[in-house]
Structure 1
Amino acid sequence: YLLELVGPRVRLDHDYCIFMRQGAPNGNLHGGSSPQIGSGDHWYVCHNGVIRNGLTVVTFNLTAAGPGAGGFGCIPGSHKSNFVNDLPVDVRRHERPAHYVRQVEAEAGDVIIFTEALMHGTMAWTADTERRSLLYKYSPGHSSWSRHYYDMDDYTDLTDQQRRFLAPPFIGEREDTVQVGS
């Protein structure tokens, strides 16, 4: 999916984990495809049947998030909107429920892939079990969200492909991350 969504020179930009216990508060809705609000890498385009995204998230859910449990929430389809600044502040802060903000239910082991151009955030965690998620954020080979890059000296025995995934951003002479036939 990454090659289709981000492009052939995709790179791993950064990663982190989320742990939430019952009663953990929400996180505001954020993201959106408007560079005017300071998120220049949050974009989605579709041209001649080819989809490309800026910063793209692959979330591995280590625990289930059933109906009403909280966790990942979003406004479906908002990555295609050019009007993210029109979102009411009370909805953005989860102070007022809105029918268009949805919790994404997931079983343990499910993967949720989304673009940072999607309006998304964290809904308050209400489940009895702890929320545990691993987030890997990918960028096109020429861009970076994080100012910190992976230090290749910290990783031993990487394959050439793994090195291409972890390489810092650049454009000139960058190889495709996944080499066909190698």
Structure 2
Amino acid sequence: MASQTLNSGVISNITAKEKEITGADGPVKGGPTAQAQKHANQRITPQAVSDITEGEKRVTGKDSPIAGGPAGVAQSIETSASQNNSTPSGTLDSATISHITFAEKEITGRDEPTKRGPTAMAQKHAGEPINSQNLHDITEGEKKVTGGEPIKGGPTATAQSELGKSRNS
């Protein structure tokens, strides 16, 4: 099983992904490696993933993380950790975001999330409790990929389902 902490091996993988993006010899100040180092030897949490995502956005200049990038390294580990905890959290944690991403892929047929789509909107609110504002943002992202309205079983429904389960547990 993959490590669930931001140990030197995980940080090294994040650094390698950052170098692929920047072409630089070392990490960028405020970039994903620097953000990961702030959480060194701690459990990978949604907040750590969010910080690494912000660092990645800083080096790419994009609104959302890139597929297979530094944030993806941390998110995949955090997702596997949170899947071991099956209690619904009612937050936009990596497990919920992973489900939203899956629902988006079902709509688009693409592995990469759409810029300003539902996954990107969910990641913007990573670690936050699911509420009307972030559901609205996810819905707006979903409309971008559907060309109109949210669909049954889509990303918005996924987030709403997570919220409902958390209230019932």
Q: One fold, TM greater than 0.5? A: no
Structure ranking higher on relative contact order (CA contacts 8 Å, 6+ apart) = 1
Larger helix proportion, structure 1 or 2? 2
Please, what TM-score do these two structures have when normalized by structure 1?
Answer: 0.27
